[in-house]
Structure 1
């Protein structure tokens, strides 16, 4: 470890040990990259995503309360239909005339169960291919969900529910990041065959199964948006960061902490996932237009070239913006970019600069290329020098020039 990096760690430790965290100073430090050592990144992300308050003395009570709340969500939403709670915490089968699998009543628990399966099928499909070039999500977690492991007759394992369902897989109505209405599909990879994502033996749980549960609980609690394809790419890096925390006391609660940080992040970017808001001022169309208007200010020649070739921002910027670049780079680079994005006080204004920087850094290739060549470049971005630091440096220059 270099002396410069040791000095950086010491600065973070000093700020994070204060009774009241100086948020402007912390943001400035985080913007330049957060150290992994000592769980510093995990802690900083929790603060930047408004999961932990600036008052350090409140951290323990906030974490205890939120983790208890998540445990309650699991008990309420993972229970098998037809199971009723009776006295002394004992459960029993409870299929009645009023609530049985064939009951057409829309308020029936079974009817809700079958509707949930439509969303769950899409979640299951997506999480099984999460970061396919990165084996982490295939590996077993050290902390499987004890509620499910210890009470499998009462609470459901989601992949078993998917296997058991006879529902035909349907496209979720909010499935927008698949870009069915524009030209650029989500990037997929088959580096790992899907059968490698088969569940682990009883008593074990892979990391992708934890992510599946987080997304299912989120969808249940947020029926207005439910689950949209691509959310798995947002929750994945957060969970990975928390689940690899060197502090085991915090790593044990990676699932609950990820859920709340993901929920807070989605509260800020959820408009990108709601199709009915696409053409509103806060919608994704407006943000894509800002990418080109910003590019025009910074590099009019490149802007005109893309316009001349009729390369619309929808063809590439939709995915870049909606998924916060999580599909454009390898996971460690995504995490480094997110250090800066989460530290952005204006909340993701910096993302527009990053996108423009990405275009400007390959301007030579874009100016020389034809439509097909340039579309290939934009949909499979060529990472310069093997890391994202040149992109972040250029984005910072663009930001500072204003």
Structure 2
């Protein structure tokens, strides 16, 4: 059998990094998982992450020439603060212009949002609501649609929070309390943090009551948190005060795209979470068979050991909060739907550390993938997009 060759664009030293030193000790068994169904596998203590190696760029491949010449400084040293500010201001102006139109072009909005949405001016809040179908493309309909949905959510609270399921509440309470303990927005004794926790709690209870086929699945709080954070930080007071209602409906839309991953009865079906993980594995094999073979055949690293969390929690636990929001800009803006993009991003994460993985064994590779190193997110998303246009 002829060994499948790696595409030329993946041979660039853009993906190079030196292998890490041997691990000091073996991973210890996990006693906590983001979902009840997550396999019990070894995990590494948080302090065991090695700093990422600097990425060296060589614009030797024609497929990479344009991108590398445009972003050479960004890849090697990080974009200068001045150029970054200018770029963000330009993106923000374009997005503001688009969402100010009487009728918004979702095609253009997706194109702009896929490159990342700058913080500020409530742009991300409005764009995410549009991308998730919560706001209609016709701006004239916004006031009536928002009033109707917000009133509907109030009725849900009045009707569904009276006699909630005790078992579900206990699980939701535990998870909400440990949502992003590093962020004062969600954690701490302040009244503000407590009110935000209460909003997450109410949304999750109502969702569970309205969706008896799924109810509540451990870890949903992590998927909910970015939506609520973005909407609550909308500078428009009317929007911020209605963040809970807006978040509920956007959460329903988002979960609907990943619904089969949360349904335990479908775990082993052609549409369940294990099937989704298999698709990610096949995508890696298609683009980098050498890496796929080393991980899954030689080292016997089952992708469920790391990809289960990556996929079900939409990468919210693998990157810092700000970087997660940037990744979500791209996930939500893809016309094919977020899941296909998510799988490409997961595959790109493996390719970016391929040298270290190829040099590693089961233990070191599992450590690396369960504690993914800091990365340039724009660079990661660029590679993920390459996987769409350049199959192996």
TM-score of the pair, normalised by structure 1: 0.73
Shift of the 317–205 alpha-carbon distance from structure 1 to 2, 3 Å rule, reads closer
From 10, 15, 32, give the equivalent of 2:115.
32
CA offsets per residue over residues 314-355 of structure 1, 9 Å max, x none? 111111111110111111111110000000111121111101
Pairwise CA distance, 1:36: 2.2
Following the alignment from structure 2 to structure 1, what is the Cα–Cα distance between the partners of residues 171 and 181? Answer: 17
The one of the two structures with greater contact order (alpha-carbon pairs below 8 A, sep at least 6) is 2
The equivalent residue for 1:335 is: 325
The equivalent residue for 2:286 is: 297
- Is 1:351 the counterpart of 2:335? The answer is no
The equivalent residue for 2:150 is: 67
Following the alignment from structure 1 to structure 2, what is the Cα–Cα distance between the partners of residues 329 and 135? Answer: 18
Pairwise CA distance, 1:263: 0.8
Following the alignment from structure 1 to structure 2, what is the Cα–Cα distance between the partners of residues 268 and 120? Answer: 25
CA offsets per residue over residues 174-201 of structure 1, 9 Å max, x none? xxxxxxxxxxxxxxxxxxxxxx56xx67
From 92, 108, 132, give the equivalent of 2:181.
132
- Is 1:394 the counterpart of 2:383? The answer is yes
- Is 1:375 the counterpart of 2:384? The answer is no
Instruction: Tell me the secondary structure at the aligned position of residue 38 of structure 1.
Output: coil
8 Å CA contact retained: 2:348, 2:383? yes
Following the alignment from structure 1 to structure 2, what is the Cα–Cα distance between the partners of residues 292 and 205? Answer: 40
CA offsets per residue over residues 358-379 of structure 1, 9 Å max, x none? 0010011111111111001111
CA offsets per residue over residues 89-130 of structure 1, 9 Å max, x none? xxxxxxxxxxxxxxxxxxxxxxxx5xx010000000000000
The equivalent residue for 2:228 is: 239
CA offsets per residue over residues 196-246 of structure 1, 9 Å max, x none? 56xx67x99431121111111111111111100010011011001111112
Instruction: Tell me the secondary structure at the aligned position of residue 317 of structure 2.
Output: coil
8 Å CA contact retained: 2:213, 2:263? no
The equivalent residue for 2:137 is: 54
CA offsets per residue over residues 251-295 of structure 1, 9 Å max, x none? 111000000100111111111011111222221111111111111
- Kindly report which structure 2 residues correspond to 1:160-309, keeping only aligned pairs within 5 A, or say none: 196=188, 205-307=194-296, 308-309=298-299
Following the alignment from structure 1 to structure 2, what is the Cα–Cα distance between the partners of residues 360 and 237? Answer: 26
**Which moved further from structure 2: 281-290 or 37-46?**
281-290
Pairwise CA distance, 1:6: 2.2
Consecutive unaligned residues in structure 1, runs of 5 or more: 82-112, 139-195
Instruction: Tell me the secondary structure at the aligned position of residue 121 of structure 2.
Output: helix
Number of aligned residue pairs: give it: 306
8 Å CA contact retained: 2:267, 2:274? yes
Following the alignment from structure 2 to structure 1, what is the Cα–Cα distance between the partners of residues 304 and 256? Answer: 23
The equivalent residue for 1:123 is: 172
Following the alignment from structure 2 to structure 1, what is the Cα–Cα distance between the partners of residues 147 and 123? Answer: 20
Following the alignment from structure 1 to structure 2, what is the Cα–Cα distance between the partners of residues 51 and 118? Answer: 31
Following the alignment from structure 1 to structure 2, what is the Cα–Cα distance between the partners of residues 223 and 276? Answer: 13
From 305, 315, 328, give the equivalent of 1:325.
315
Consecutive unaligned residues in structure 2, runs of 5 or more: 1-81
Following the alignment from structure 1 to structure 2, what is the Cα–Cα distance between the partners of residues 7 and 263? Answer: 32
Instruction: Tell me the secondary structure at the aligned position of residue 297 of structure 1.
Output: helix
- Is 1:364 the counterpart of 2:355? The answer is yes
- Is 1:17 the counterpart of 2:6? The answer is no
Shift of the 351–204 alpha-carbon distance from structure 1 to 2, 3 Å rule, reads closer
> Higher Cα Rg: structure 1 or 2?
1
RMSD: 1.7
Following the alignment from structure 1 to structure 2, what is the Cα–Cα distance between the partners of residues 239 and 28? Answer: 24
CA offsets per residue over residues 153-194 of structure 1, 9 Å max, x none? xxxxxxxxxxxxxxxxxxxxxxxxxxxxxxxxxxxxxxxxxx
From 295, 303, 314, give the equivalent of 1:313.
303
